[in-house]
Structure 1
Amino acid sequence: MAKMESVISLKTGDNAPEFNLKGIDDQMHSLNDYSKKGLLVIFMCNHCPFVKAKIEAIKELHDKFKDDISIVGINSNDSVKYPDDDFDSMKAVAKEKGLEIDYLVDETQEIAKKYGAVCTPDPFLFDSEKKLIFHGRIDDAMNPEAEVSEKVMINNIQKFLEGQKIEKDFDPSIGCSIKWKEQQT
C-alpha cells in the first residue's frame, strides 16, 4: 500500500497553492487564470461513486455561480492503476455528463499534496484573494445513495457572496481516497 509522506492541511486564511495543470481543453491552467469573486477547487475523478453522485450538484454550482465563482476540478488519481481516471477518460466523462468546469489533470500528484486533498470529492473554496474560506462537503449526502437535505456548498457560497461569515469553515467531505502512486525508493 502506498504511504504518502506528510500531508499539508490548508487552514482558513491560507493562500491557495499555485498550480499549472493541463485541462481537458488541452490548455494549461494556472491559479492566476482565475480572477472572479471566488474560486472553488474540487479534487475529483471519474470512477469514484461519491464523485459520480455529485456531478449534478457540481453542475448546479457552476450554473448558479458561474458569473462569480470559478470552479476547477482536479484529478490527481494514479491513472496507471485506475485507467478510468486517465486523461482521455476525463475528456469523455466531462463531455458525456455536460460538465462545463475546467477539469485538470495532476499527473505528479504534487498539487493534491500541496492542498492536503485526501478524498474525491474534496472541495476547497477561496475568496478573490485566493485565501481559503471553506474546506468541506458539497452537500450533506454522505453516501452515493443518500438524499440531499442541505446544499452545504451552495449555502456557503451564497453567504460568502452576501458578505456573511461562514460559521463552519471546515466540514469534511466523504469519498474515495485519492489513489496515490507507489512511493519511489
Structure 2
Amino acid sequence: MTLNIGNRPPSFSLPAAGGGHALFEPGDGITVVVFTCNHCPYARAWHERIQKVAQDYTGRVTVLQINSNDSSRQPLDSFESMEAREAGGDFSSPYLRDEDQSVAKAWDAMVTPDVFIIDAEGELAYHGAPDGSYDDDSANAEWIRSALDDLIAGRRVAEPVTSPKGCGIKWKQASGLTIGSRP
C-alpha cells in the first residue's frame, strides 16, 4: 500500500520504551508519526528538533516516534537500547517498537526519520522530512511546524509533501529477498 496525502493511515498499537503501549487511531486528533531509530546519523541530527516539536505542541498535537529497524542487523536499535535512551530522558513523546515491521510496511515508511502528519479527521496531511537541512539546527523542524500550524489554524497544509532524507529502514531478511530490499 502506498500512503498518499488524503489517505487514512492504518491504526496501530505498539509497546513503548519505558513501559506501556501507545494506540493510534486515525481521527483522534492531529498526530505526528516519526519513524526513527537510535543509530542513524540523520535521525540523531534531527532528534532534538523533533523532541522540541513534541514539547512545543504538547496539548494540541500527539507525537509518536517509532523504531522499526531489525535489531539483528543494527544492534543499537534493540528494544533494550531504546529503553536506555528513554530512561536517560532522550524522548519528549512515546518511543515505540515496531518489532515485526508491520506498521512501517503499512505506512510505507522508507527512511529514518520519515515524518507523517495526520490531520484531526484522520487523513494524511504531510509526509516528508522534518526540515530542509539535517545539519542545521536553526532549521528548527520548520516543515513539521509549518504543517502543524496550518492544521491547527484549520488550513490545508501549504507544502504537504517533501522528500524524506535519512538511512534506509533495516528490513528483516525474508526468504527470496536480499538484505536491503523492501518486502
TM-score normalized by the length of structure 1: 0.87
Partner in structure 2 of residue 99 of structure 1:
91
Q: Pick from 103, 107, 110: which aligns with 1:111? A: 103
- For 2:41 and 2:111, the matched residues in 1 are separated by 12
Partner in structure 2 of residue 27 of structure 1:
20
- For 1:13 and 1:33, the matched residues in 2 are separated by 12
Q: Pick from 159, 174, 183: which aligns with 1:183? A: 174
Deviation at 1:9, TM superposition (A): 2.0
Secondary structure of the equivalent of 2:33? strand
Q: Pick from 122, 145, 157: which aligns with 2:148? A: 157
Deviation at 1:34, TM superposition (A): 8.3
Partner in structure 2 of residue 174 of structure 1:
165
**1:128 partnered with 2:120:** yes
- For 1:38 and 1:98, the matched residues in 2 are separated by 23
Q: How many residues align?
A: 175
Aligned amino acid, residue 174 of structure 1 = K
The question of whether the paired residues in 1 share the 8 Å contact of 2:113 and 2:164 is answered with yes
- For 2:161 and 2:100, the matched residues in 1 are separated by 26
TM-score normalized by the length of structure 2: 0.88
Deviation at 1:97, TM superposition (A): 4.8
Q: Pick from 87, 90, 113: which aligns with 2:82? A: 90
In the alignment, structure 2 segments of 5+ residues that lack a partner are 177-183
- For 1:20 and 1:34, the matched residues in 2 are separated by 15
The question of whether the paired residues in 2 share the 8 Å contact of 1:75 and 1:105 is answered with yes
The question of whether the paired residues in 1 share the 8 Å contact of 2:43 and 2:112 is answered with yes
- For 2:35 and 2:162, the matched residues in 1 are separated by 15
The question of whether the paired residues in 2 share the 8 Å contact of 1:139 and 1:148 is answered with no
- For 2:149 and 2:12, the matched residues in 1 are separated by 26
